[in-house]
Amino acid sequence: MTGRPQASAQRPVTATCRWRITAVFAAWIAVFALLGGRLFDLQVLQGPLLQRLAVRQQLESIRLPGRRGFILDRTGSRLAVNVEADSIYAVPRAIADPEAFAREVAPYLHLTPREVTARFRRGGPYFAWLARRQPPEAIDAVRALQLGDAIGIWPDTRRAYPAGTLAASVLGFTGVDDAGLAGLELQYDGSLRGVAGIGTANRDAIGRELVQTERIVSPPHDGNTLVLTIDQVVQHVAERELTRAIAGAGAQGGVAIVMDPQTGAILALVTAPTFDPNRYQAAPPARWKNRAVADVYEPGSTFKLILVAAALSSHAVRLGETFADPGKIRINGATIHDAEPPDPKHTTLSLTEIVKYSSNVGAAQVATRLGKDRLFAYIERFGFGRPTGIDLPGEAAGIIRPVSQWYGPSLQNIGFGQGISVTPIQLLVAASALATHGVAVRPHLVEAIRDAAGHAIATPGNLPPRQVIEPEVADQVVAMMREVVEGGTGVKARLDGYAVAGKTGTAQRPGPFGGYEPGMYVSSFVGVVPASVPRLAILVLVDRPRGVYFGGDIAAPAFREIARQVLWYLRVPPAGAVE
Amino acid sequence: MTPAFQQRDSSFLMLIPEHWGSRGKEATRRRRRRSPVLVVLTVAALTVLPFLAYIAETSNAAHIGYRILQLTHDIAALESEHERLQAIASSLRAPDRVERLATARLGLQAPRAGQIASLPLPPIALRHASPSLPGWWERIDEYFHRSEAAAAEPPQ
C-alpha cells in the first residue's frame, strides 16, 4: 500500500508521550505490586487459616450406613426387617420465633407446641432432635412446610416386625439407637448390628457432594442375618392353641414350646400374654420377659419321669416292683396324698402305674427308696439347676437346693415335683432326652448366622448332645409315658394315628411369702410324638387356670391340637394310615 | 513484485550472508513465510490447550459425578422402597392374617382328624417312582417354573 504515511513510523517520541508511557508502566507495576502483595497476604500470611476454612467449607464428612441384619424363620420368611423412618431435627439458632415455629411444626409430629419447645431446650444451639424415626408421611408433611435451615431431616431406619406379635418374646426388640434390648435382638446384637462407615468428599458451591473426590476412611459393614429354627407356621399354631387353652381355662398366662428332640431346634416358643414388638412401650415390661427360659416353676408330676428314670437307672427299683397306694401316706412328719381320690382298684401300683395314674404316694415311696444323694445326682445329670444354654438372654438356672438343705419330707416332695423349681425349657429338654434313648440335646433358636453376602459364618446350635441316662432305661420310661396317654391321666393328649408319649403335671404355685397360694395351680403336659421315632417334643404350661386345673384337662388337649396340626404341616404320616 | 514489498525492501537494513548460496536463499524464503503473530498464537494455543483439556476433563468428571450422585440417591431410594415393600409383603403373609382371611372371608376350615391319610405306595409303584434323569425339555421347563413351585409350598 503506497498510501501508508511513512512519516508516522519515524515520528520522534515526544516528552509527553514518554511521560504517558512511563505513567502507564508505573500504573501496571503498581497494580501488579498490589496484586502480588495481596497474593502474598492470602497465600503466605493468611494461608494456613484460609486453608482450614476452605477445608471446613468444602470437605464434607459422610456417614455410610451399615444396616442391621434381618431375622428370618427357617423357611426364609422375614420376622425382623428395617424400614426407612427418617428423623427430624431443628437448628434452634436459625429459628427467629421459636413459639411460632413450635405451633407450626407440632401437629405434624403429633406433639404439643410445648413439647416441641421443650425439645429445643434439650438440644444445643445448632442441633436438637424433634422427632426420631417418623413415618414417611410425617417427613413429607414437614418438608412441605419449607422451613429452610431451621429444620433438617436425618436419614434413618427403624426396626419392624412384619408378623406383629408372632414370636415377640423370642425376637425381642431394639431401642431408639438400634441396639437390641430383649430377646434374640439382644442376644445376637453384636452379630446383627451393622457398623457405619465414614467417608469424606468435597462439596461444590451449592453444597452438592462431588463424588469423584469421595474417600472412604472406614468402610461400612451390614449386620449379619439370623436364620432361626422357628417356623412361623408352627409358631402361629402353637400361639393359637395356647391362647385358646388359656382363654378356655380362664388362666392368666402360659407357655408352649415345640422342639425337634433329635436336634434341639426350637420350632415354636410361645409365651402368653404377649406384646407387639413394633410398639413394645405400650406393653408392661413384665411381658417383655421370655417366661419359657427366665421364669421358674414347680414342675409337679411331670418330674416323676426323672424320678422313675433315676430309680431304674440306679437299680433302686425294679421295673415290675409294686408299691402300696392307700391314697395317702405319712412320711417324715408330713402327710402326702394323691391329687385325686384313690381308685379302689389300684391299691398297689407298679412303677408304670405310678407314672400312669400320677400317684404322689407311690412316687414318695420310690423317692424314699432312691435316697437324697442319688436323686440329686440324677437331677443334675438331667441338666436341672443350670441353664440349658439356649440362645436367649436371661435364662434362669432353676432352684435346686443342695442335699444338706433337704429337710423333713423334701426328698419325697421333690420326687413328685414340689420343692424344686425348673424352667419350662429345662423340663422339655429332660423329657425329650428320654424319648431319644437318653441323649439330651442343646435347645437352640438360631440355625445359622449369615453374613451380608449370604454365606453361613456360624451355626450356634451345632453342639454335640450328651448321654444323660442309659438307652434301655429311657425306653422303659417312654413306654410308661405312652401308658399315661393310652389310659392314664393324659388321655386327652391321644392322637389318632400317632403314638403319643407324655406326662401330665399339676403343681401348686408357691406364694410370694412362702408356702403355696391357695387355689392357684400350674397345669402342664410334656410329651413327644411319634413315640417310636420322635419328631416333636412339646410342652404346654397353663398358669393359674380357674375351675378345672388338672394338666390332663387343661394342657393335654392343647398339646394334642398343636401336635396334630404341626405333624400335618411337617408331612409326618400317621402310623395306622388309611389306605 | 508489489509496491509494498519494494518499500519494505528499501526501508529495512539487511545483513547479507557471506556465502550467498542455495542455503541463504532458503533461509530468506522461510523468514518471509513465518509471521510473528502466527507464531505467538501458535505458542499461546499450545500453551493453553493442555489447560483447556484439563478443564474440560474436570468439568466432565464433575458432570459425571453429579450423575453418579443422583443415581446413588436413586438406588438408595429404591432400596428403601424395596425394604418397605418386603416388610409389607411379610406382614401380608403373616400366618395369623392368612388364617383370619381364610376362615372369615373364604369360609375355609382346617382339616379335621381323619381327613388326612397317608397312602403307602405298593412296591411296583415304588419301582416306577424311582427317580430318572430329566430330559433337556424337562430341565428347561423346570427352570422357568421353579420359582412358582418354591413360592407355592415352603421347603420341608
Residue A380's CATH number: 3.40.710.10
Cell numbers representing residue B130 in the block: 424311582
DSSP conformation letters of B37-59: HHHHHHHHHHHHHHHHHHHHHHH
Cell numbers representing residue A58 in the block: 468444602
Residue A508 is assigned to a structural domain of this protein: yes
Are A252 and A148 contained in the same domain? no
> CB B62 to CB A212 under 8 A?
yes
Residue A186 is assigned to a structural domain of this protein: no
Closest approach of A448 to chain B, Cα-based (Å): 17
A301 vs A120, higher pLDDT = A301
Q: Which residues of B touch A160 (CB under 8 A)?
A: 87
| CB proximity A495 to B under 8 Å | yes
Confidence of residue B117 (pLDDT cuts 50, 70, 90): low
Q: In the prediction, which pLDDT does A303 show? A: 95
Closest approach of A557 to chain B, Cα-based (Å): 14
- B1, B116, B147, B153, best to mutate vs chain A, most A CBs in 10 Å: B116
Q: Is B129's pLDDT higher than 60?
A: no
| CB proximity A571 to B under 8 Å | yes
> CB A162 to CB B68 under 8 A?
no
| CB proximity B154 to A under 8 Å | yes
What does the alpha-carbon distance between residue A219 and residue A353 come to, in Å, rounded to a whole number? 67
> CB A162 to CB B69 under 8 A?
no
Q: How many CB pairs under 8 A join A and B?
A: 94
Q: Is A208's pLDDT higher than 50?
A: yes
Closest approach of A571 to chain B, Cα-based (Å): 8
| CB proximity B122 to A under 8 Å | no
Q: Is A55's pLDDT higher than 80?
A: yes
- Are A552 and A504 within 8 A, CB to CB? yes
Q: What is the pLDDT of residues A77-136, one digit of tens each?
A: 999 999 888 889 998 888 888 888 889 889 988 889 898 888 888 878 888 888 888 888
For strands A456-458 and A446-450, give the pairing: antiparallel
- Are A43 and A127 within 8 A, CB to CB? no
> CB A577 to CB B118 under 8 A?
yes
Q: What radius of gyration do chain B's Cα atoms show?
A: 45
B139 vs B131, higher pLDDT = B139
Chosen domain end from A155, A175, A210: A155
Q: In the prediction, which pLDDT does B33 show? A: 66
- A67, A212, A571, best to mutate vs chain B, most B CBs in 10 Å: A212
| CB proximity B64 to A under 8 Å | yes
Residue A575 is assigned to a structural domain of this protein: no
Which of A352, A356, A353, A357 lies closest to A341, judged by CA? A357
Residue A31 is assigned to a structural domain of this protein: no
Are A150 and A248 contained in the same domain? no
B109 vs A297, higher pLDDT = A297
Residue A68 is assigned to a structural domain of this protein: no
| CB proximity A84 to B under 8 Å | yes
Of A1, A82, A211, Cβ closest to residue B69: A211
| CB proximity A212 to B under 8 Å | yes
Residue A175 is assigned to a structural domain of this protein: no
What does the alpha-carbon distance between residue A33 and residue A35 come to, in Å, rounded to a whole number? 5
In B, minimum Cα distance to A560 occurs at: B113
3-state helix, strand, coil in chain A (%, to 5): 40, 25, 35
Q: Is B149's pLDDT higher than 50?
A: no
Mean pLDDT of chain A: 90
Q: What is the pLDDT of residues A243-256, one digit of tens each?
A: 999 999 999 999 99
- B73, B118, B119, best to mutate vs chain A, most A CBs in 10 Å: B118
Chosen domain end from A136, A155, A174: A155
| CB proximity B116 to A under 8 Å | yes
Confidence of residue B127 (pLDDT cuts 50, 70, 90): low
Q: Which residues of A touch B114 (CB under 8 A)?
A: 496, 578
Closest approach of A212 to chain B, Cα-based (Å): 6
Which of A225, A229, A185 lies closest to A457, judged by CA? A225
Q: In the prediction, which pLDDT does B15 show? A: 62
A195 Cβ contact partners less than 8 Å away, ≥ 6 residues apart: A66, A220, A221
> CB A568 to CB B117 under 8 A?
no
> CB A164 to CB B96 under 8 A?
yes
ipTM for the complex? 0.73
> CB A232 to CB B94 under 8 A?
yes
Out of A301, A313, A421, A524, pick the active-site residue: A301
**A301 an active-site residue?**
yes
pTM, two decimal places: 0.79
> CB A77 to CB B93 under 8 A?
yes
> CB A211 to CB B65 under 8 A?
yes
Q: Is A10's pLDDT higher than 90?
A: no
Are A262 and A141 contained in the same domain? no
| CB proximity B118 to A under 8 Å | yes
What does the alpha-carbon distance between residue A551 and residue A358 come to, in Å, rounded to a whole number? 11
> CB A166 to CB B99 under 8 A?
no
| CB proximity B86 to A under 8 Å | yes
What does the alpha-carbon distance between residue A323 and residue A343 come to, in Å, rounded to a whole number? 14
- Are A376 and A398 within 8 A, CB to CB? no
Confidence of residue B156 (pLDDT cuts 50, 70, 90): very low
Q: Which residues of A touch B96 (CB under 8 A)?
A: 163-164, 166, 236, 239-240
> CB B91 to CB A236 under 8 A?
no
Which of A177, A167, A176 lies closest to A80, judged by CA? A167
Which neighbouring-strand residues pair with A466?
A440
Are A124 and A250 contained in the same domain? no
Of A81, A164, A496, Cβ closest to residue B83: A81
Are A261 and A114 contained in the same domain? no
Q: What is the pLDDT of residues A515-534, one digit of tens each?
A: 888 889 999 999 999 999 99
| CB proximity A2 to B under 8 Å | yes
Other residues' Cβ atoms within 10 Å of the Cβ of residue A539: 28
- Are A486 and A469 within 8 A, CB to CB? no
Of B117, B120, B156, Cβ closest to residue A571: B156
- Number of structural domains, chain A? 2
How would you write A93-142 as a 3-class SS string? HHCCCHHHHHHHHHHHHCCCHHHHHHHHHHCCCCCEEEECCCCHHHHHHH
Are A343 and A442 contained in the same domain? yes
Chosen domain end from A155, A172, A195: A155
Rama region for A470: left / alpha / beta (φ>0; ψ in -120 to 50; rest)? beta
Are A310 and A429 contained in the same domain? yes
> CB A163 to CB B86 under 8 A?
no
Average pLDDT, integer, range A465-473: 94
Residue A120 is assigned to a structural domain of this protein: yes
Confidence of residue A414 (pLDDT cuts 50, 70, 90): very high
Residue A236 is assigned to a structural domain of this protein: yes
> CB B62 to CB A208 under 8 A?
no
Nearest 10 degrees: CA dihedral of A199, A200, A204, A208? Answer: 20
Average pLDDT, integer, range A188-200: 91
Give me the sheet containing A59-64, strands edge to edge. Answer: A59-64, A197-203, A209-218
Indicate the residue type of B125.
A
Q: What is the pLDDT of residues B8-54, one digit of tens each?
A: 555 566 666 555 555 556 666 666 667 888 899 999 999 999 999 99
- B8, B90, B99, B101, best to mutate vs chain A, most A CBs in 10 Å: B90
Average pLDDT, integer, range A193-202: 89
Q: In the prediction, which pLDDT does B19 show? A: 58
Are A426 and A326 contained in the same domain? yes
CATH number at residue A102: 3.90.1310.10
Lowest mean pLDDT among A184-193, A276-285, B127-136: B127-136
| CB proximity A230 to B under 8 Å | no
> CB B69 to CB A82 under 8 A?
no
Confidence of residue A193 (pLDDT cuts 50, 70, 90): very high
Are A240 and A93 contained in the same domain? no
Q: What is the pLDDT of residues A334-381, one digit of tens each?
A: 888 887 666 677 778 899 999 999 999 999 999 999 999 999 999 999
Are A107 and A255 contained in the same domain? no
Which of A302, A265, A325, A329 lies closest to A465, judged by CA? A265
> CB B95 to CB A163 under 8 A?
yes
Of A1, A84, A210, Cβ closest to residue B84: A84
Of B69, B99, B117, Cβ closest to residue A578: B117
Are A150 and A240 contained in the same domain? no
Query: Look-up: residue for cell 504515511?
Result: A5
Domain that holds residue A143: 86-155
% of chain A surpassing 90 pLDDT:
62
What does the alpha-carbon distance between residue A325 and residue A362 come to, in Å, rounded to a whole number? 6
A64 burial via Cβ count (<10 Å: 0-12, 13-18, 19+): middle
Q: Which residues of B touch A573 (CB under 8 A)?
A: 118
